[in-house]
A and B are shown apart, each in its own frame.
Chain A
Amino acid sequence: MRRRLAGISLLGVLALTAAACGSGGGGGGGAKPSEGPVTITMWTRAATQAQSERLVKAYNGSHKNIQVKLTVIPTDNYQPRIAAAAGAKQLPDVFAADVIFVPNYTSQGLFMDITDRIAKLPYKDGLAPSHMKLGTLDGKQYTLPHTLDLSVWFWNKDLYQKAGLDPEKGPKSLKEFAQQATTIQEKLGKDGKVHGTFFGGNCGGCYVFTFWPSVWAAGGQVMNAEGTQSLNDQAAMTDVFKIWRDLYEKKVTGPTAKEEQGPTWTGFFPKGEIGVMPMPSTTLGLMPKDMKIGVTPIAGPDGGESTFVGGDSVGISATSKNPDAAWDFLSWTVSDEAQVEVMAKNKDVLARTDLAGNKYSAEDPRVVLINSLVAKGQTPYALRFGQTFNDPQGPWLRMAREAVFGDASKVPQLNAEITKSLQQ
């Protein structure tokens, strides 16, 4: 009896050991193209979900052999999820990423080198230059532009009319922006519902997206070209901070701007509660149909035009087992068909500059304006961008908050912290 028991326990041990060893060998796998339909997995962040979903739906509808399964991940959790998946070698076949994180991801080896594949695209020179630049490392290309999201000023024409402002004339400088916002606040803000403007005051990514274009428009810079030194203590930036600080102190920005962590910062404008504010261009297609909205480039304190060319780039993950199927999907997303019939049709900015003047964009002058800004805007480059500027515990958010709400004299010292973080 004892021997039998011993035998059983030995079997148990073997079974457990086998299970333990077996668990390491799994992996996404998937059938090879020749073996029939292939399903590739794709991840995208919630911020640009609508565009990704439209592209995937159109692709799945017109392709039988390859299907794409899309997973949308909350924007705030995206970077941690990518990091965790990469560490476990469980990345999806394809993943889109906020374009500013791409240099870090490529330097960590998360994307597959697709230089040769891109070289064969007939329209390779038309691919959005800022996205292509950030997806290139040591002369090798790793990503394609996926969605473009530009920061622009939106103004509510109805509120402008009610406040006695010219509804057809948006602000041409940051100072004008502040004046118009203040007028809205003074004329319409009595009941506490309507506010002159709004911004994400506790959200690092919101600050860089909406404040930096004013610096660029004024001819300034926020970092050196290598992304290793912060210039956010220079006059170009501190002048912009001052104007926003003044708006907050005069209560033109709405009382919750200071606490706004990011997820809901674009939610107030579509409700008709905000006069004028910087917004992502991708939200234009999501605005209420009957709302009269003007769109204008972000300007510096005294004029100029610029934008933060944000959005997502997309690449094949280094651990993908289906690179050919993945490339079939990726190359289709930048094809004429997808760009015009999926992206342009929904008022989205195109990933290709050679298609900017298409039959759909011509219908809406606002879209033409946004498309034209791609060449004027900038996408800042820094390997340590996320941990410095986007992370709520990073040094940038502290500095921006001190500059706008707190003790502005701390800016030089906090700027040194940003530089330190960029060089880590």
Chain B
Amino acid sequence: MTLTITRSGRRPAHTAPSARWRSRKVQGWLYAAPTAVIVGVLFIAPLALVVWMSLNRWPLLGQATFNAPDNYLKIGDNPLFIDAVLFTLKYTAITTVLLSAVALGLALLVQDRRPGIGFFRTAFFLPGAVGFAAAGLLFYGMLNNDFGPIDPLLQALHITSEPVKWIGTPNMALFSTIALVLWRFAGFNMLILLTGLQAIPTEVYEAARSDGANRRQVFTKITLPLLRPTLALMLILSVTGSLLAFDQFFVFTNGGPDNSTVSMVMVVYRDAFFRFDLGGAAALSVVLLVALVGLNTVMMRRLR
């Protein structure tokens, strides 16, 4: 096969403009094809499968039978899911507020280059390198009333007189889980905010100071407004992550005590793998997906 190398300026005159345009279009498609296939196989196909599953009665083995919209209609009859929605929203609100505050505080603490600052940045970020399931087990071990070291320590320091029921009451279970999430994610979110903080030109600060602005004014009039896009990114990550919370509750509290810490994804998991209702679980997933897309769209618009 001979290959003719042509440059656009010396194109053969006989090529009609429309044919050339068509060939360029085909080439464009071919260039995009590998990515399109990857997107199709890895992203679109699983989503389509979930939507299709949600319209069927889907047994573990054997043929699926179309039963739409039964899987969607029965969501309303699932009190565990309704409770889980309320609980997950509550958890998301508390976590996002606390996480933003702690992460911003940490980022401001380690913002400036000082001797030893690398140690603190690493120390704050380190829990982010621990897997969520491992972190859940770690907290379970630490806070366990039978063999955990925290209770004896608190008692030795005369802070408490008897073991604290860390995951024994609904409120304490939520509080302990939030503590776990803060420990695990505050450093990670600090890193995101730190990049935002460091992108603010120092000249802006210098100008503000020479204009006589105090520290509070610098923070509210310069740091926060210029940090807005980074804060928005962190908020979206935090809200999405919290609404999809699973590992922390599954490993750490197991949804207890008395179903007080069951998240939405735990209900999906239960429907799929304990009740073997794959179609119903898919329907819950689709509802969750639509809600998340909607919420993220609103957040993107408002925070931009």
Residues of A within 8 A of B (CB): 1-6, 9-10, 12-13, 16-17, 20, 79-80, 83-84, 86-87, 89, 104, 108-110, 202, 255-256, 258-259, 261, 264, 318-319, 386-387, 391-394, 398, 401, 406, 424
Contacts and interface: CB of A to CB of B under 8 A. Distances in A.
B15 to A, nearest CB: 13
Given A109-B59, A256-B145, A259-B257, 13 more contacts: A6-B26, A12-B34, A13-B37, A16-B41, A20-B41, A80-B273, A83-B272, A108-B61, A110-B60, A259-B167, A387-B275, A393-B267, A398-B259
B30 A9 contact: yes
25 contacts: A6-B30, A6-B31, A9-B30, A13-B37, A16-B34, A16-B38, A16-B41, A20-B37, A79-B274, A80-B273, A83-B276, A84-B273, A86-B60, A86-B61, A87-B278, A108-B59, A108-B61, A261-B254, A261-B256, A319-B61, A392-B254, A392-B255, A393-B80, A393-B259, A393-B267
Given A2-B27, A16-B38, A108-B59, A391 B257 contact: no
Nearest to B27: A6
B30 A83 contact: no
A393 B270 contact: yes
Contacts of B259: 392-393, 398
A13 B29 CA distance: 11
A393 B38 contact: no
Given A83-B276, A387-B275, A392-B254, A1 B37 contact: no
B258 interface: yes
A259 B145 contact: yes
B165 interface: yes
Nearest to A10: B30
Contacts of A16: 34, 37-38, 41
Contact of A108 (B60, B256, B266, B267): B60
Nearest to A2: B27
A202 B258 CA distance: 8
B59, B267, B275 pick with most chain A CB within 10 angstroms: B275
Interface string B57-78: 0011110000000000000000
A391 B62 CA distance: 25
B168 interface: yes
B229 to A, nearest CB: 35
B120 to A, nearest CB: 36
Contact of B274 (A259, A318, A386): A386
Nearest to B166: A259
A110 B267 CA distance: 24
Nearest to B162: A255
A2 B6 CA distance: 9
B163 interface: yes
B33 interface: yes
A393 B262 CA distance: 8
Contacts of A109: 59-62
- Interchain residue pairs A-B with the least CB separation, the first 8: A80-B273, A86-B60, A83-B273, A387-B275, A13-B33, A391-B274, A12-B34, A20-B41
Contacts of A6: 26-27, 30-31
Nearest to B26: A6
Contacts of A424: 275
